[in-house]
Structure 1
Amino acid sequence: MRHRADEIVLAEVGGFDSLNPFILRGSAPWGVNLLTVQSLLGRSYDEPFALYGALAETVETDSARSYVDFTLRDGIRFSDGSPVTLDDVMWSFETMGLEGHPRYRNAWTKVATMEATGPRTLRLTFTEPDREMPLILGLRPIVQRAQFDVTAGGRSFADSSLQPVIGSGPYVVSRVDPGRSITFERVADWWGNDLPLFRGQYNLQEIRYEYYSDLSVAFEGFKAGVISVWREPNAARWRDSYDFPAMTDGRMQQIEIPHERPSGMSGFYFNTRRPIFADWRVRQALISAFDFEQINTTINDGAEPRITSYFGNSVLGLQPGPAEGRVAALLAPYADSLPPGAIDGYTLPVSDGRSNRRNLRAAARLLNDAGWHADAQGVLRNEQGQAFDLEILLLQGQTEIQTAAASFIGALHNLGINARVSLIDSAQYVQRTNEYNFDMTYTQRLMSLSPGNEQVLYWGSQGVTQPGSRNWAGVDQPAVDALIETMLSSQTTEDFTAAVRALDRVLMAGRYAIPFWFSPVSRLAASRTLHFPQHLPIYGDWTGFMPEVWWYQE
């Protein structure tokens, strides 16, 4: 298939049933938030803690960050041509904070007052010290209030809908094939065209996302020329599966983009709300049963390094061995409640890649110590006689994750655990994970070089019972809450780094996930008609890079 000029076509796995990404209900395409709405401030992806004015012309705050003042620019407009007003901004803040997705609510609870202090000026005063709050609120999406005015025939903000949200971003939704594809078209006279922050960005006239049932089908679509760019997650396939005609005749090219961002945590997460995972020894046993070396060889030909911490591959990651200095001081008040390894150091079990017997024996001992014993048929049971039964919930189309799960389940059966995989579609998956209705599941928690309030959403204890948080593991640890607060209130780089490293230690020692692998480079196969700047951002292939700064040129 020949693409039109100034177009890029990207592949997604799964589907969508909503175009409102700001509420808990429904599953919306990522591109809606990325392309059609704008915020008061915008990121520079070469500067982890820097934001610049977008809808806001100026920002003012005090040294304590007890308040923030935003002044709107003249001439900013929504995609339908109507002006972005202070009323739209204030309504967006309050509505998303009260009715929007839970990811917006934590920040809103820290807003004591919001008031208009001039025709284009807004002041937000905070309830407590949080140096990130002006940045967080500056990045809140701003949408048009009138479209949600039910008294004038508008729709309810809380309702899932396939009607596009009216925002002030550089693109609008132009075509939708529900659940199958969505196309965005560039706004010709976009108000931000000449703003220095956006110069060189949003060069493509159309951006289309095609949805596929699984990665293998999507890859075939790329080989056939339906997809413009392919992000290759598998190192082995990158080496040996790119000899198809479009690549060998030069229409496509392979590109490796290095990055310096943290590894994040990709793997099987335990839902510790489930009684079977309440004991850290059980979680450690299952971590030991997972033969990473063998699975990595099968899937990646052994080429990818293992994730060893949530902020690994960066200066923010935990340091090996016992905690020292400021990190040790931060952990000391919680020493009695911390799991083994948080203070004295924690490392993942390693196999020789051929046999995992030593780790399986260690796993069996841990399960026995935790009260799980094999009956005459070899089935693990607790003191109440209940069998150890667990479900690994996976999204359809995750072929490599299914391969990892199959190997893992074999090891669990050897331990007497009845484990199974359940494959479900994206709509069911969103619903079940929002309600924490799973035993184990695969997910990724991506980390930046400027971690902040999103850590509350990922690990904060309020997410144990609050539906829709990202605390899928059910982390309920006083040290985690305290370290996140310390991180948010730190005023020096040294204190901030120590708080993140201490948090990293507690999360790793908590055994909340079975870590998979990560790649220090991104692998992109792309049409030779698509180009990007020679200077690469510190985050590499990340938000703000593709498709934002790419352009079409024959």
Structure 2
Amino acid sequence: MRVTVPLLAALAALAASPVLAASPSEVPTRHALALYGEPALPADFAHFPHADPEAPVGGTLARGANGSFDSTNPFIVQGTPASGLNAIYDTLMVANPDEPFTMYGLLASGIRLDPERQWIEFDLHPEARFHDGHPVDADDVVFSFETLTERGQPFYAAYYDDVRAVRAVDADTVHIDLADSESRELPLILGQMPILPAHYWADRDFERPTRDALLGSGPYRIERVDPGRRIVYARVDDYWGRDLPVNRGRHNIARLVFDYYRDQTVALEAFKAGNLDLRIETSARNWATAYDFPAAEAGFVERLAVPDGQPAGMQAYVMNLRRETFQDVRVREALNLAFDFDWLNEHLFYGAYERTHSYFENSPMAAEGLPGEDELALLEPHRDALPERVFDEPLPVDHPEAMRPRLRRALTLLREAGYTHRDDGTLVDAETGEPLTLEVLLFDTQFERVVQPLLRNLARLGVQGDIRIVDVNQYLNRLREFDFDIVVGSFPQSANPGNEQREFWGSEYADAPQSRNLIGLESPVIDDLVDELIAADSRDALDTAARALDRVLRWGFYVIPQWHLDSTRIALWDKFGWREPFPEYNLDLDAWWIEPERAEAIEARQRNR
């Protein structure tokens, strides 16, 4: 068959052009999106399996919060926001905590996702209302996106970096164009965006801290603000979304109270006195020794260890690469060698914890041994920029030997890095004579006893270490400005990491105030591996990219990994009800309720004391 030159040219142009996105009219409307596969719950599901639609409504949940607060706006750089503010806002979609990563419609009554992932559309519930009765419409979604990414914390710009445009199709439909169709999670995380009322903020300064009872559309509203001391949320009785499947049987408790304590020992005593109803316990010592008191012995207080299906993530001593002291990897590795987890676990933690090695601990995403073929395919292009041990030495990096030989290895590394000892034993820079010093910045006095053993081991090497304890507001300000040597930091991970990794490790966030790149990483290799992770188009590809990223981060010794627990420890006064089994991947306290008879018995006991 004869083919003309113009036809050949047209075919060639078509082959070279990008795949055309489907039109919205060609794409079916869905009730939910799963990162991989299909949602577990059908379109006509009645409620989440862990929620009880017959649960009683009422009662109060009082919890403790640490430090202080001076703002009710959690979205901006300035101010210290109060706890619990997410309760007043609805999002487009909400996650089912019993699935790895599936989002179901909340404000969105329907979702259309282009098969090529070049755009997504949300249909909004016509009944959706803010607490003042004003409808939630597409203009509010556009306003929320633009405000959060342009005037909010750096997190939002990082999280939604691959969005090209957001526009209102009509009052009930919003269309979002995606610049990077390779990011599988982007359509889902757009559903996590809190929707703000454009009309409310029209004559207010969004970027200034405020103590006002801000307007939202969620299941709770702010009832009372006592700056720095207490914030109270009241259940919205005429909440527009009360009977949606994602809400049925949830948000049962009438009042949520957060009382602030500067000292966690005082907060514990407040719980034991019955002034707080529930406490998530982070101290192994408290869990083992502090709950032997009369009310507990009488059966009024219960303790739960709820299994956690998410990766443990990384809690660690974070070294600030913006400080010249930490720019040499040999110094960072030496500090790692001085950390004695086994001693801490035996003498301070009652054997409760496991040592953390990986940034994706307790998951298939944690790197182990030597890199496999799939990992090597991602790492080989960067071989010249990576140390050979990334390719030749197996993970995990562990130090089972006694502390003395570890300190000898640490001292060898420090000498290789150009340090020597003065006559008084102080470790100094061989060229400048400046001592090797570091400061650990804390806001919680409870952690001081945990840091001291590390500083004692460093002192044996001649390193001068100190602890600086400041109040929470000063601590947050210093974090925002990256004004620290070492802090105790956390890099939480989900079963499906994605865009948030840019802000954890990305070069463009190394100097962005209040970003979560606490380390100060600026590495083209890590940037590329993060892009590979975000673009992963299958579970296997995601695991491989995460393992490659994990391997490079760990061989950089940017942090001193600490420890983890595979459950959440909860102490509570025995007035709560819940359904078991608990959701596999996340704890959902919103599905709990107050049992009136048990609450009354506890109140009677308190009155008669």
Shorter-chain TM-score category? over 0.9
Deviations 1:451-498 (A, max 9, x none): 111111111111112111100011222222112211111111111111
The match for 1:120 is: 172
Matched AA of 2:548: A
Asked whether 1:438 is paired with 2:484, we answer yes
CA distance in 1, matches of 2:331, 2:396: 16
Q: Decide which of 340, 343, 368 is 1:294's aligned counterpart.
A: 343
Asked whether 1:261 is paired with 2:310, we answer yes
The match for 1:194 is: 243
Matched AA of 1:204: I
The match for 1:330 is: 378
For residue 341 of structure 1, report the CA deviation from its aligned partner: 4.1
CA distance in 1, matches of 2:555, 2:494: 21
How many pairs were matched up? 537
The match for 1:275 is: 324
CA distance in 1, matches of 2:247, 2:386: 46
Q: Decide which of 345, 357, 369 is 1:321's aligned counterpart.
A: 369
The match for 1:10 is: 63
Contact 1:461–1:476 (Cα < 8 Å) also in 2: yes
Asked whether 1:467 is paired with 2:516, we answer no
The match for 1:165 is: 214
Contact 1:268–1:443 (Cα < 8 Å) also in 2: yes
Asked whether 1:358 is paired with 2:405, we answer yes
CA distance in 2, matches of 1:70, 1:518: 39
Matched AA of 2:376: A
Contact 1:342–1:508 (Cα < 8 Å) also in 2: no
Contact 1:181–1:208 (Cα < 8 Å) also in 2: yes
Q: Decide which of 513, 521, 524 is 1:478's aligned counterpart.
A: 524
Deviations 1:327-359 (A, max 9, x none): 12211111222245433323344356xx51111
SS in 2 for 1:74: coil
Asked whether 1:534 is paired with 2:580, we answer yes
SS in 2 for 1:68: strand
Contact 2:578–2:591 (Cα < 8 Å) also in 1: yes
Matched AA of 1:173: I
SS in 1 for 2:187: helix
Matched AA of 2:164: A
CA distance in 1, matches of 2:423, 2:385: 37
The match for 1:29 is: 82
SS in 2 for 1:114: strand
Asked whether 1:55 is paired with 2:107, we answer yes
CA distance in 1, matches of 2:479, 2:209: 18
Asked whether 1:181 is paired with 2:227, we answer no
Q: Decide which of 482, 492, 497 is 2:538's aligned counterpart.
A: 492
For residue 49 of structure 1, report the CA deviation from its aligned partner: 2.2
Asked whether 1:140 is paired with 2:193, we answer yes
Which region of structure 1 is more displaced relative to structure 2, 201-210 or 507-516? 507-516
CA distance in 2, matches of 1:49, 1:230: 27
Report the identity percentage.
Answer: 36
CA distance in 2, matches of 1:357, 1:119: 69
Asked whether 1:514 is paired with 2:567, we answer no
SS in 2 for 1:302: coil
For residue 398 of structure 1, report the CA deviation from its aligned partner: 4.2
The match for 2:417 is: 370
CA distance in 2, matches of 1:416, 1:124: 57
For structure 1, the 5+ residue unaligned runs are none
Contact 1:291–1:351 (Cα < 8 Å) also in 2: no
Q: Decide which of 206, 219, 225 is 2:255's aligned counterpart.
A: 206
For residue 213 of structure 1, report the CA deviation from its aligned partner: 1.2
CA distance in 2, matches of 1:398, 1:310: 26
Relative to the length of structure 2, the TM-score reads: 0.86
Which region of structure 1 is more displaced relative to structure 2, 101-110 or 305-314? 101-110
Matched AA of 1:315: P
For residue 540 of structure 1, report the CA deviation from its aligned partner: 4.4
Asked whether 1:505 is paired with 2:554, we answer no
Asked whether 1:102 is paired with 2:148, we answer no
Asked whether 1:65 is paired with 2:117, we answer yes
Q: Decide which of 89, 93, 104 is 2:145's aligned counterpart.
A: 93
The match for 2:395 is: 346
Residues 107 and 446 (structure 1 numbering): CA distance in 2 closer, same or farther, change over 3 Å? closer
CA distance in 1, matches of 2:335, 2:421: 16
Residues 254 and 109 (structure 1 numbering): CA distance in 2 closer, same or farther, change over 3 Å? closer
CA distance in 2, matches of 1:297, 1:429: 30
Q: Decide which of 106, 116, 135 is 1:83's aligned counterpart.
A: 135
- Structure of higher CA gyration radius: 2
Which region of structure 1 is more displaced relative to structure 2, 371-380 or 157-166? 371-380
Once the two structures are superposed, the pairs formed by residues 361-440 of structure 1 within 5 Å of their partners are 361-382=408-429, 383-395=431-443, 397-399=444-446, 401-440=447-486
Which region of structure 1 is more displaced relative to structure 2, 93-102 or 371-380? 371-380
For structure 2, the 5+ residue unaligned runs are 1-56, 599-609
For residue 108 of structure 1, report the CA deviation from its aligned partner: 4.3
Matched AA of 1:102: P
SS in 1 for 2:279: strand
Relative to the length of structure 1, the TM-score reads: 0.94
Which region of structure 1 is more displaced relative to structure 2, 232-241 or 305-314? 232-241
CA distance in 1, matches of 2:497, 2:97: 14
Contact 1:288–1:349 (Cα < 8 Å) also in 2: no
The 4+ residue runs of structure 1 with deviation greater than 6 A are none
CA distance in 1, matches of 2:229, 2:499: 33
Which region of structure 1 is more displaced relative to structure 2, 335-344 or 90-99? 335-344
For residue 265 of structure 1, report the CA deviation from its aligned partner: 0.7
Matched AA of 2:362: N
